[in-house]
Structure 1
Amino acid sequence: MRFRPGASGLALLAVCSLTLAGCSAGSLGSSDSGGNGSIELTYLIGNQDQDVKEGEQIAKDFHGKFPNITVKLETRPAGSEGDNIVKTRLSTGDMPDVFAYNTGSLFQAIAPQKNLVSLNDQPYIKDLDDNFKKTVTADNQVYGVPFGGFMGGAVLYNIPVYKKLGLTIPKTWAEFMANNAKIKAAGGIAPVIQTYGETWTSQLFVLGDFHNVSAADPSFADDYTANKAKYATNPAALKGFEHTEAVHDAGYENKDFASAKLPDGLKMLATGKGAHYPILSGVVANMVATYPDAAKNVGLFALPGDDASKNGLTLWTPGGVYIPKTTTGDKLDAAKKFLAFIASPEGCDSQNKAGAPTGPYAVKGCSLGNDVPQAIKDMQPYLDKPGASSLALEFLSPVKGPSLEQITVEVGSGIRKAKDGAARYDDDVKKQAQQLGLAGW
């Protein structure tokens, strides 16, 4: 169930992903490998502007700390073409010294035990967030460090609207719907912004609800992978579809929900024309760039479920940085130093220089900085509190289907009932699971 935004969504979220990548190369520093004891590392990253900007900054700052090590950047194409390049270069022994790639199910697909250097002996491993470590671990070996921040599948909300109407942050779905009723009664403000003109944005009530699903049914991800649990028949999993339906049926959506697109939704939220927007936190940086006051006027809370005591945030993890087994000798030692730098407060500070973080870092001791938007600050308490955050299903199961966004548009538009939509999605993922050859399907 990998969350794949549409074209404009990808442009907005490129800042959050190291896996959106073109092929060019550049170098920082002037040292050549082997000259005067100097070492040159090649670092394969994405070619999106923010990817390159962050890569250049981390390479510059690392070189400043280790003047004998120079990091040269190389980029790769996006999507399946980029995936194929990573797999091909690993299989042919032609992978650069260090590379950035996906975490979760796509990480497992590159045979980490065979192709990557384990980092279990590195002292900084204990400082990595447990949620992140799960996504770069195979056979109890950790293979990657995080680059970038977490994203949350959450509700962005307009703080002035909340203050004006005397509303409090909801921790249950009933409280959330009560807030929506008060907002609608006040008039002139859409309680819940939906932007089905870009279908990928329709999925949040389902995808962002997974913390609540796993809190109610901790075995769901494993049972789902084994074809023992279904969205249509598991009460906890069905809730996301039911919530999508309920918001529509109550008339809480903006009037132009069917045609509005992401920029329209961000404008409504930032200007107070809409109160709530269920969306990935990765859109915050773009919103603030267009509407600077949104940095202080827009906050974030986790999607509410049934149990306030278990309320928490569903997370999408940062990308990973890895060392292939073909990196050996002095280059391996240098590569380990580079990953240690990335996975340190110094590395996080370097990333802060390259642009505002999109969410809390997955490294203990890292700071978001002083100028981070309020919505991003609001994510941190969920990560700091034990049990208050958990991974999105796509990081826990390879089972996913391509049609969820079309189905949630139908459910959220009143075209299809929640249970029917969930059943349709169950059929959708069945085809994908069979193609993957998963047991039990």
Structure 2
Amino acid sequence: MATRTSLQKTLGIGLTLGVTLLWLVGVTASGLVAQHEMNEVFDSALEETAQRILPLAVTDILNRENDTGNQRAPALKDHDEYLTYLVRDEQGNLLLRSHDANPEVFGTTPIEGFSNTSTHRLYGAFAVSNTIYLEVAEPLAHRRESALEAGLALLMPLVVLIPVSLLGVWWIVRLSLRKVVDFQQDIESRGAGDLTPVAENQLPREFKPIAIAVNRLLERLHRALESERSFTANSAHELRTPLATALAKVQRLKTRIFDDQVKKNVTEIEEALRSLSTLSGKLLELAKAEGGGALSQNPHDLVPVLAIIVRDFEDQVPGRIVQSLPEQEVSSFLDPDAFAILVRNLIENALKHGSPNQPVEVSLEDNGTLRVCNGGDSVPPDQLILLRNRFTRSKTDASGSGLGLAIADAIAKGAGMPLHLRSPVTGRQDGFEVVMNVINTW
């Protein structure tokens, strides 16, 4: 599964790593250039030292009253001597050396100019018709140490600059993408029923086409929903009016018929029209439930809606419903009309298929949990799964179209609110229960 990363995080880390790598490359290049320049300076100092010491050494050797052999130049005080030298004659006899010079460091054969050993850099110079030669030596470890210190001096600022650059890059990226983050939060925070256009004026130029496309999609979706709602309303009017007219005419005709057989046939037609009227109403409710109008743009208190619906049913079936309503408001983005259709279908289903000797319990809790329970035989698990399907009914002799739970489930899915069907009722051995939270969404 692909991991989704933040654009802000990707840019911040990517830019910081890029800047860090560029700095490291720059420091490495600067270190190499500095090492090359330092070697030139050290070579120049080595050559300059040899050129200055050689005349003094020759003068000292030639002014000796007698041959005293090897002499060591005295040191004014103890110190580390990076440059050491020695002076020899043409036979290789050691005539003069610095106080810390090691003859084993120098080669046995004199070489004029620069040369290297495994441990030292040498410079040789001749004088007095090539009868006296001087060699000056510098440890290569001294040069490597100097180059390392110079490299560390270039690297040390990065210890501070890398965290500072990370914070700076992160702040600049965050500031640059602030409008994009606001755009993302605006889309993320709005409910499913909010189809108002998103703000696009303050977005960067690269993201503005996205906002325009989103607004066009929202506008098309709004028009489609409005068209579907209009069609549902018009269909309800166009279907119910002819059915009601036909039903009224049949009822009037029934009062004028005295033949028992004809009257029986008219009664069957009357029942068929009633059933067709009920079925058309359920189908229109199902169409509305699946039309995407389950959520509203603003929250509404659903307690009064539930109280009105329960009161209507109590007038039809006195004493069959036991209600439990909260004292405080239960605000939800669920559309009140959709909620009314959902509750009406759940109560109708409980009254039709529940035991007539047990009440139908309707409750709404402060946390938004809606519960509708009825008594009666338990529904087997294999049938319980199928009850959400259209025209599906459990084994019962009660009349009905098998659309009540399908309508309720369509509204719950459209609102993103899970609808739970349970049988038996929680804490009991029988009955059927529907539980739904009208506040929490998926």
Length-normalised TM-score, structure 2: 0.18
Q: Which has the larger radius of gyration?
A: 2
Length-normalised TM-score, structure 1: 0.18
